[in-house]
Amino acid sequence: MLELDDIQGNILAGFNTDFQVIAGLCVKSGADPKQVSQWLAQRAPEITTVNEINVQRLRMKAISFKNSLSWLFLAVSERIMGSTQSDVIFADEAFRRGMVRRSGPVLGDNTSPNNWIIGGNHTSIDVLLIVASNMKNVAEERVTMLLENAKAYGFEQTYLESANKLNGIEHFGFRDGISQPTIVGIDPDGDMQAGHFVYGYPKTVGSPPVNVLVDARGVTKNGSLIVIRRLEQDVALFHDFCASAAKEISAQWPDITPEKLQALIVGRWPHGSLVSFNDLSDPGQQPNENAFDFSDDFEGKRCPFWCAHSKS
């Protein structure tokens, strides 16, 4: 049984609200670790759990509650864990080292951490806050109160940004939020064990629970890891590339269009249906939209096989 009153709501249930505000805090140089720990302990009762989201999901959408209801997610860095929970050791190298020390070839980019808007050399984060609501002013007002309170305990703000939901369409124009995992103990048709997402539970039935490396007191049980990166998406360049590439290969592939090439790259048509080699245009939203096993296409006639070869 999942301890849903101790698992943060944004880990398993998901906020899925119209507005979210993301804020980053860094511990000031010379700050008292006891004050830092005190502020975090004070926030614990305010964090929204899976159970609370399950109870409040309908209220969040109701007009009578919109002006007051908000949800809080909180995550801490390895530096915070190391200074406050020194007997807890994580096996995850990405968490232990952080993105700055893994920038470059490991992360697969050539950007400098000096220029990162979030999580860089000058914008480091020790505490990540996400406040969600269906009213923008409600989310922003709660974040403002949290940030002002944190300053008195040795924190400084290094990041702040508001975001609103794009009505189910991501930036490149494709339907979003389709391939969400279904979790046993959360979703009626759940097929993935919670251990894939939360410490203290198995990944497969009968296997031992997934844990960090050393945690005798069980501090990390019901916790998880989160990755936050702010990436630039060049929508215009993607569309321009697909237009020019489709024109370039049209002699060998008369049916290719920029729209079909976009779908082949993404793996779906904009409405969310699985891409097929023989489709000339978007067939619209289809049932069974996650049937990526292609069990009825063993010869690759609808969706061609792809294989990478390396030269010796």
Q: Render the burial of 206-215: b for 16+ CB within 10 Å, e for the rest.
A: eeeebbbeeb
User: How far from 22 is each of 57, 128, 140, 176, 180, CA to CA, in Å?
Assistant: 20, 7, 9, 20, 22
DSSP states along 60-90: HHSHHHHTT--EEEEEE-HHHHHHH-TT-B-
pLDDT confidence of residue 312: 39
The DSSP annotation for 175-236 comes to B-S--PPPBTTTSTT--B-GGGTSTTS-SSTTSPPP--SB-TT-TTTT------------HH
The domains of the chain are located at 9-196, 235-306
pLDDT value, residue 307: 56
pTM of the model: 0.88
Mean pLDDT by groups of 10 residues along the chain of 312 residues: 95 92 96 94 97 92 76 96 92 93 86 93 96 94 97 96 88 88 90 95 94 95 94 94 96 92 91 82 81 75 61 42
Strand partners, 8: 49
Interatomic CA distance for residues 304 and 297, integer angstroms = 9
C-alpha distances (whole Å) from 177 to each of 14, 56, 180, 197, 199 are: 11, 21, 6, 18, 24
In this predicted structure, what is the pLDDT of residue 310? 47
